[in-house]
Amino acid sequence: MRIGLVCPYRWDVPGGVQYHVRDLAETLRGLGHHVEVLTPAGHEESLPAEHATWAGRTVPVPYNGSMASMQLGPVSAARVRRWLREGHFDVVHVHEPATPSVSLVVCMTATGPLVATYHAATTRSRWLAAVGPLIRPWLERISGRIAVSDFARRVQVEHLGNDAVVIPNGVHVAPFAQGPSLPGHTRGVDGPTIGFLGRYDEPRKGLPVLLEAMRTVVREHPGARLLVAGRGDPGALRDALGDDLAPSVAVLGEISEADKAAFLRSVDVYCAPNLLGESFGVVLIEAMAAGAPIVASDLDAFARVLEDGAAGVLVRRGDSAALARALSDLLADPGRRARLSAAGQAAAAGYDWQVVARRVLDVYETVVLAGTGGVTAADDEDLAAAGAPDGVWPSLFRRPRR
């Protein structure tokens, strides 16, 4: 099968959607399919040498509690049109098609079997509330809809009026399950260690809640350490620690994929104190695959991944005292940590990309069988309704011709 995947965000900036598209493409190629990716990036040279097409540069836009790099306009429309015509795709799979991005341009431009995956979990989207009725005619061209979680599915139903099948994000389980630990941080050997991974200067990731909890943890478990990995301002973070907590926190900065796996294999407990805006929880799956017991806030998406507490500990989000108690109790109980580790590894196996990709292929096959041919671009007359050079926003939001 010839498959086109569309990533709406900058390929050269780490993010959950980018990783999802990358790993899905890799897995589908491993299953024998031809896969091409269309994506924006800061520079064309930052894309893989093969099977990737540059959709141009992006601009930063606040979206879903974060800053997303997005792209929309006549230049995008021209590149999309060429990519569709030259790709000869049996199916095209767009991600986050309702964002102001190249994914939306594909929906405006393409004819033929389209599949979409919805990742976002925000229940109050000013963007969707404002433009949902305007873009709905283009989104109705989508033949198969996927949501990465029940929460993301509810957002899709409430804002855009169409249902979706839930297929979770995938994880390459084996690289997390086996391999070395970080030097000096062997699980169960080098002292109690708690891990946090994420953009630590984003309030919704909840690191301040964890830092407050750590003040209690280090009093009850002298020698306990917190390892913080991810992007952010390390100077501002160190200022927030204070003299009392600074000796117990190591700031590792942004780490590679290989080091991330080693990081998750090193910690005695992985903590996800996130406050909002999570539609799934890929890092929880990665941590479970690595055998790390988990303490996480009780977001709907996290509760689903952790099987309502059977595969990890859930605490009320934003409650630093409850988080401190959960972490301290788990550090004091190696038997419970071992049971949670085993339960987490068993749960993670169901999210392996080999399993998830075959479920996505089932959706592809359904829409291809229901269609009348492959995917291509609309002709010149129809494309004018999707974005002409004379005024980007008015033309892009003009209703498509029937």
173-349: same fold as 2-170+352-396?
A: yes
Tell me the C-alpha distance between 57 and 70, whole Å: 8
Query: Which residues of the chain register pLDDT less than 70?
Result: 59-73, 121-133, 159-161, 379-402
Tell me the C-alpha distance between 197 and 272, whole Å: 8
Q: Which fold has domain 173-349?
A: Rossmann fold (3.40.50)
Contacts 24+ apart (CB under 8 A), 160-165: 160/98, 160/128, 160/132, 160/136, 161/136, 164/118, 165/363
Residue 358: helix, strand or coil by DSSP? helix
Spatial contact of 96 and 120, defined as CB atoms under 8 Å apart: yes
- B/e letters for 108-117, b = 16+ CB within 10 Å, e = fewer, are bbbbbbbbbb
Give the pair of three-digit tokens for residue 160.
């855009």
Residues 231-280 pLDDT 10s: 999 888 988 898 899 999 999 999 998 899 999 999 999 999 999 878 78
CATH code reported for the domain at 2-170+352-396: 3.40.50.2000
* CA-based nearest residue to 8, from 116, 155, 89, 126: 116
Helix or strand run (H / E) with residue 300: helix 300-305
Residue identified by tokens 């799979």 is 93
Task: For the chain, give every domain's residue range.
Answer: 2-170+352-396, 173-349
Residue identified by tokens 């089932």 is 362
Q: What is the pLDDT of residue 387?
A: 43
Per-residue DSSP letter, 248: G
DSSP 116-155: EEE----S--HHHHHHHHHHHHHHTT-SEEEESSHHHHHH
Residue identified by tokens 């407050």 is 212
User: Interhelix angle for 16-30 vs 282-289, to 10°?
Assistant: 60
Residues 161-200 pLDDT 10s: 678 999 999 999 999 999 999 998 999 888 899 999 998 8
Q: What is the pLDDT of residue 187?
A: 93
Helix or strand run (H / E) with residue 77: helix 74-87
| Residues 6 or more apart in contact with residue 125 via CB below 8 angstroms | 64, 155, 159
Q: What is the pLDDT of residue 92?
A: 98
Q: What is the pLDDT of residue 149?
A: 85
Spatial contact of 153 and 108, defined as CB atoms under 8 Å apart: no
